């Protein structure tokens, strides 16, 4: 089945939106009515035909994220589609990054919070490296530690902790730890406690990954 699908995609002069929607609708964590085999088939097809599918996928995602196509929006959840594509062919998403960054800055809390959770889940994928195209959105994600909404800050802290525990030596670790230190004086007590918890857990996991000055800051606060 996989071979047949890939041949059909590669030999098609133009991949129709209806076929793309069938593939994209199979993406999603724990999506009801979709088997793991179907999800894996869709991801493999996207991976192996990424150049062929990139333009169409980009167009669909931007259309849904900008609210221009409510019909397609009812068929796919762009959060789950982006999560699935990031697994198998993250380069396809490079031109979608500005739109996703916009969702991080949205005024509507639900949109704002869902975007934070999505971006956090992308950066906590096992073995996932943050490519250059995604650095701007990673930096904006870290800035959400200063968000006015406590739930948003707590969500960022949750994902940052997973990131650092999975790979304390990742290139973004120093910048991440610096952002954490800035929140040791956050106005919300629960946020301050969570920051201390994250730093202590990472230090216990890999002591060398936390600078001495940071440990002193935690003790002082």
pLDDT (tens digit per residue) in 122-176: 999 877 778 888 999 999 999 999 999 999 999 999 999 999 999 888 889 999 9
Q: Rounded to a whole number, what is the distance in angstroms from the first to the last CA of the chain?
A: 59
CA distance 171 to 45: 31
Question: Based on the domain organization, do 75 and 162 belong to the same domain?
Answer: no
User: Which of 58-67, 68-77, 124-133 shows the lowest mean pLDDT across its residues?
Assistant: 68-77
Question: Based on the domain organization, do 136 and 204 belong to the same domain?
Answer: yes
Of 100, 117, 146, the last residue of a domain is 100
Question: Based on the domain organization, do 91 and 13 belong to the same domain?
Answer: yes
Tokens describing residue 125: 């994928």
- Number of structural domains in the chain: 2
Of 65, 100, 135, the last residue of a domain is 100
Question: Based on the domain organization, do 116 and 207 belong to the same domain?
Answer: yes
Q: What is the CA radius of gyration of the chain?
A: 19
Whether 73 has a pLDDT exceeding 80, the answer reads no
Question: Based on the domain organization, do 133 and 83 belong to the same domain?
Answer: no
Domain that holds residue 131: 105-221
Whether 181 has a pLDDT exceeding 90, the answer reads yes
pTM confidence score: 0.89
Q: Hey, is 128 helix, strand or coil?
A: coil
Helices (H), the chain: 2-11, 17-24, 36-48, 50-65, 70-73, 78-88, 97-104, 109-123, 135-143, 150-166, 173-182, 189-205, 212-220
Whether 74 has a pLDDT exceeding 90, the answer reads no
Of 81, 100, 119, the last residue of a domain is 100
């Amino acid at each position: 089945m996989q071979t047949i699908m890939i041949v059909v995609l590669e030999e098609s002069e133009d991949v129709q939106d209806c076929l793309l929607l069938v593939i994209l609708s199979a993406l999603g964590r724990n999506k009801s009515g979709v088997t793991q085999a179907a999800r894996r088939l869709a991801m493999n097809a996207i991976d192996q035909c990424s150049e062929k599918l990139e333009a169409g996928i980009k167009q669909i995602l931007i259309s849904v994220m900008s609210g221009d196509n409510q019909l397609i929006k009812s068929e796919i959840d762009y959060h789950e589609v982006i999560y699935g594509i990031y697994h198998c062919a993250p380069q396809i998403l490079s031109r979608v990054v500005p739109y996703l960054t916009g969702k991080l800055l949205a005024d509507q809390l639900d949109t704002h919070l869902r975007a934070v959770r999505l971006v956090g889940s992308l950066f906590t994928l096992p073995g996932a490296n943050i490519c250059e195209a995604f650095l701007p959105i990673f930096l904006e994600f870290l800035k959400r530690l200063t968000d006015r909404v406590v739930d948003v800050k707590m969500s960022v802290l949750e994902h940052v902790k997973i990131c650092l525990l999975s790979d304390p030596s990742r290139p973004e670790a120093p910048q991440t730890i610096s952002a954490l230190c800035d929140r040791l004086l956050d106005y919300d007590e629960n946020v301050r406690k969570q920051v201390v918890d994250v730093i202590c857990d990472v230090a216990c996991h890999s002591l060398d990954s936390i600078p001495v000055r940071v440990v002193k800051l935690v003790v002082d606060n």
